[in-house]
Chain A
């Protein structure tokens, strides 16, 4: 009976003093890791800083209307954008008209107004036209 007791005591001491573990435990990822590469630090909630009231106010009014009379970038951008939009609208509406006007202007440039031109220039043009017509007739014959 004494022997059994001693064996039980020895068996229990082996279980408690030994520190062997299964391979599966190691493969399952329960082993302790040296580095904390997957550690997630929780960020603290946003808090107003203690000296927030002492900070100077941003100078937005001065930026909008410069005292030196310099160019205001915001206005230029808004104006340019508004002008561009107006131009686009006009172009869309009058595209046909403009195209016709341009064609008319081109024709006017090609055919000079002989009434408003000086007499010497008119004579020279008439001579050139007469000579060209003669050449055409001679070439036909």
Chain B
């Protein structure tokens, strides 16, 4: 039982590290571009641009204020949520732990930026003609995938178990 737990722990840790490193690599690449040019606004495809924005708030640019009290409170809440996710991941033995690891990796990536840069760099700008989706980063992709998969698991996998019972 302990061996299984350790295996799971290392596997989860590996997922978290991969997500975190990948997120950091992309952010560092974008930040290096800003050293060369004053602003990053790169055209890649007709539907995708790289456009750097610094977000001090939470999702969708909410609570992005210059007051340090609000900023520190949000950072503290995010840190608390990450600890809860890591605890759930440690306790869970189902497939859900991998999705929780994805969320934890992405959340740690954003938390690192909040602590180091005092803001999170967002740079992926998906758009169709003039209609732009929210600008996001790689960490956001992994968090969204993880949450989406958790919802699916909750809807499909757990409902089947309940039916069997």
Mask, A1-27, CB within 8 Å of B = 1, is 001001100100111111111110110
A23 vs B137: C-alpha distance when bound (angstroms): 13
Majority secondary structure, B binding face? helix
Q: Is A42 positioned at the interface, with any CB of B under 8 Å from its CB?
A: no
Whether A19 pairs with B137 at a CB distance below 8 angstroms is yes
Q: A18-B144, A21-B60 are in contact. Are A32 and B54 (CB under 8 A)?
A: yes
CA gap between A132 and B135 in the complex, in Å: 114
| Interface-lining segment among B1-9, B13-21, B73-81 | B73-81
**Bound Cα distance A14, B62 (Å):** 12
Q: How many residues of A contact B (CB 8 A)?
A: 23
**Complex-state Cα separation, A20 to B57, whole angstroms:** 9
Query: Once the chains bind, are A17 and B110 in contact (CB under 8 Å)?
Result: yes
Across the interface, A19 reaches (CB within 8 A) one of B34, B35, B103, B110, namely B110
A31 at the interface (CB under 8 A from B): yes
In the complex, the answer to whether B58 meets A19 with C-beta atoms within 8 Å is yes
B78 contacts A16, CB within 8 Å? yes
Q: Knowing that A13-B85, A17-B82 are A-B contacts, what are 14 other residue pairs whose CB atoms are under 8 Å apart, sorted by A's residue number?
A: A13-B147, A14-B59, A14-B144, A16-B74, A17-B81, A18-B60, A19-B110, A19-B137, A20-B55, A20-B136, A21-B53, A23-B135, A25-B55, A34-B38
A21 touches B81 (CB 8 A): no
Q: How far is the CA of A18 from the CA of B151 in the complex (A)?
A: 16
